[in-house]
Amino acid sequence: MPNKPTQISNLEAIRNAIAVEMRLNPDIIVIGEGTGERGGCFAHTKGLFAEFGAERMLDTPISENGFTGMAIGAAATGLHPIVDLMFADFILDAMTQLVNQAAKIHFMSNGQIRVPMVLRASIGSTAAAAGQHSGVYYPLFMHIPGLKVVTYSTPADGYGLMRSALREPNPVIFLDHKGLFPVKGDAPAEDLLIPLGKARICQTGTDVTVVAASLMVQYALEAAAQLADNCAVEVIDMRTLSPLDMETVFASVEKTGRLLIVDESFPVCSMASEIAACVASERLYDLDAPIRRLNTLPIAHPFSPPLELATIPRTTQIRTAIEALMKE
Amino acid sequence: MKTTKTKDRCTRAQALDLYRQMFTIRYFETRGGELCRKGDIPAFIHLYVGEEAVAVGVCSQLHTSDMITSTHRGHGHALAKGADVRRLMAELYGRTDGYCGGRGGSMHIFAPEIGLLGTNGLVAGGIPSAVGAALTAKVKGTDGVAVAFFGDGGSNHGAFHESLNLASAFHLPVIFVCENNLYATATPLATIAGNPEIAQRAVAYGMPGAAVDGQDVLAVREATARAVARARAGDGPTLLECKTYRYVGHNEGDPVCGTYRTSEEVELWKLRDPLLLLERYFTTELGGDIAEVDAVRQQVTDDVEDAIVFAHNSPWPAAASLEAHRYAK
């Protein structure tokens, strides 16, 4: 038996997770644009067509509202679709189906109908993708009761979370960061399952808590490493953005008394604002300093690389923010 | 539009059953309107009065397991698909014994055990779901078909066009049933559609399309039978445009004529009332006895009145139950 690679990319990890679950569950199908024989615009479904065939790897017309709605009807009647929308920006075309149908049917039907589906899309600002291919948008989905929202920062987490998402009886928005697709990390154990709704403490520390998600976790870890001689930073990857695992955040803040939230979404009604509000409301007296937030600037993502770089939180800004917070 | 005048269009028993279903809708809706005005039904509802032949004709050709998706004007579809009048009325009342325990209401009635995948508050919102139900039937290899009901208003929504194309491209067993009652709330179709012949849109998507006399339940039944046979044989979708009419305002409380039509027009359509047409066919073509029709009407009246009492006496849901079904477990 050939040795399994010890390092794999995020992209490979998610693809493996989908393949494993598709082998176990014949009801899982993939619905998307160019996700069949082409293997997806990022090669993120490469090889699945060869194994599972055209009937389970459905190439669609560019009709996000229509095929997301089709997936909802399929989910409600016994299939478990993965809807692949390529870019989170394109989910906006399917919002009425997602919000008015998928998220509400279970509750409105008094539990008679389930909508088990995974809506997958890439997020984030990388490589000059500009104003209509760089959004993260997860706060829009966090706002909607009935949806679960997942994103990840390592291959193992992505693998374990995708496998769990494909066992969920609810609609799950599963977001891959484009900047993380090629990044490698430890290969997960094949049987790894990570429950939704649980944050991960990436590194423990006693001086300050940094909460982040997706690519921002990697930046936060870099910043923490640069400051390692001066302060012990606890870095938390939220992983599931809805429902938020606030207990893990509360426990960390009780210990450190300082909180920085790094969030690639725009600042208003963001992941950062929600976590800040929860901590201010429930753990105010554990805090030794004001809660600080770093978000993407509230502007359309600019194309030109120097402008783009200045738009989203980066390692240096996180480091500076931690240093400033330690002095407060 | 094709109407056949032969005696073999249906048996007397079938005609009586179709009449029973249409009268159930007519009486249920008429009483529903009254109860809405009285405040017993706590919100506005959209009545199906005048359009009964479409739901009944279409659903007469479906199995219980075949899925339908419906609209804001959905009580008729629910009843035609086999909904229990008591549970349906209780849902309109917002009570625990309703199909959704009061969580859905008139525009969100779900009853999967009778193949009702939801009435819908969003115009064209349920069309893609029907395509999805048809996809499930195809992937799982059952002989199931799905039906999407929608109005002339819905036929201008992107979801309609995307759904027709998807269903045709994938050869899915779905029937798109447009209930063209001429007005999207108060906007005449002719003023907002470059081509108001909705059935012709089928050509653009590579499927058969037919305009049907939506006041003639037998014509609807026959057109549906052809579409269902095609779908079950794996030959793909069909678009049926049923030309019909609502006698009431858009919703209960909305004026009957408003700014967009005349009372003369309404009265003209009532001359071709679907119940009247079927009753006439039953007595003249089939030689049926009007006493049988009267007996059906009496039975339906009793059943609906019983359902109203049932709904009225059903408990309100407890606020403490709100957390249930927030997520599926």
Domain ranges across chain B: 10-313
What pLDDT sits at residue B2?
47
Place of tokens 């009425």: A96
* Rounded-to-10 torsion of CA B149, B151, B152, B154: -80
Is the CB of A43 inside 8 Å of chain B's CB atoms? no
Helices (H), B94-200: 127-140, 158-169, 189-192
pLDDT of A138-162, one tens digit each? 999 999 999 999 999 999 999 999 9
Q: What is the mean pLDDT of residues B148-167?
A: 98
Closest-approach residue (CA) in chain A for B125: A97
Provide the pLDDT for residue A4: 72
pLDDT of residue A101: 98
Helix axes B290-313, B85-93, angle to 10 degrees: 40
Confidence category of residue B57, pLDDT binned at 50, 70, 90: very high
Average pLDDT over residues A165-177: 98
Is the Cβ of A58 closer than 8 Å to some Cβ of chain B?
A: yes
pLDDT tens digit sequence for A42-59: 889 999 999 999 999 999
Q: Is A265 on the interface with B (CB under 8 A)?
A: no
User: Is the pLDDT confidence value at A32 over 70?
Assistant: yes
Interface contact A73, partner B, CB < 8 A: yes
pLDDT at B7: 66
Q: Rounded to whole angstroms, how far apart are CA atoms A201 and A216? A: 14
| pLDDT, tens digit, 9 for 90 and up, residues B194-230 | 999 999 999 999 999 999 999 999 999 999 999 999 9
- DSSP labels for B121-144? SSTTTTHHHHHHHHHHHHHHT---
Contacting residues of B for A115, CB less than 8 Å apart: 328
Q: Do A66 and B325 touch (CB under 8 A)?
A: no
The domains located in chain A, with CATH, are 8-186 (3.40.50.970), 200-327 (3.40.50.920)
Place of tokens 């309609």: B160
**What are the backbone dihedrals phi and psi of residue B117, each rounded to the nearest 5 degrees, phi first?**
-90, 20
Between residues A153 and A1, the one the model is more confident about: A153
Nearest to B325 among A61, A69, A107 (CB): A107
Check: CB of residue B26 under 8 Å from CB of residue B293: no
Evaluate if residue B10 carries a pLDDT over 50: yes
CB pairs under 8 A between A and B: 151
What value does the mean pLDDT of chain B take?
96
Whether A285 shows a pLDDT value over 60: the answer reads: yes
- How confident is the model at residue B158, as a pLDDT? 97
pLDDT in tens, B292-307: 999 999 999 999 999 9
Residues 6 or more apart in contact with residue B238 via CB below 8 angstroms = B175, B176, B202, B207, B208, B209, B210, B226, B227, B230, B231
**A 169-208 → B contacts, CB under 8 A:** 169-170
For the segment A234-238, the average pLDDT, to the nearest whole number, is 98
Spacing of C-alpha B245 from chain mean position: 13
Provide the CA B236 distance to its chain's centre, in angstroms: 22
B10-313 — its CATH code?
3.40.50.970
Question: What is the model's pLDDT at position A126?
Answer: 84
Instruction: Please report the pLDDT score of residue A125 as a whole number.
Output: 86
Model pTM score:
0.96
**Whole-number pLDDT of residue B6:** 64
A164–B contact, CB cutoff 8 A: no
Residue B157 has pLDDT above 50, yes or no: yes
Give the catalytic positions of A in this structure. Answer: 133
> Is the pLDDT confidence value at B152 over 90?
yes
Give yes or no for residue A323 having a pLDDT over 50.
yes
Residue of B nearest to A70 (CA): B132
Q: Does residue B177 register a pLDDT over 50?
A: yes
pLDDT of amino acid A169: 98
Chain A residues within an 8 Å CB radius of B87: none
Q: What is the pLDDT of residues B217-265, one digit of tens each?
A: 999 999 999 999 999 999 999 999 999 999 999 999 899 999 999 999 9
Identify the pLDDT of residue A3.
67
Residues of chain A in contact with residue B139, where contact means CB-CB under 8 angstroms, are 29, 55-56, 74, 79
The predicted pLDDT at position A5 comes to 76
Question: Residue B43 — left, alpha, or beta (φ > 0 → left; ψ -120 to 50 → alpha)?
Answer: beta
Check whether A68 has a pLDDT greater than 90.
yes
Average of per-residue pLDDT values in chain A: 96
pLDDT at position B294 is 98
ipTM given for this complex: 0.96
Mean pLDDT confidence for A162-173: 98
pLDDT in tens, A90-115: 999 999 999 999 999 999 999 999 99
How far, in Å, CA of A13 to CA of A154, rounded? 9
Closest residue in A to B159 (Cα–Cα):
A66
The average pLDDT across A220-231 equals 97
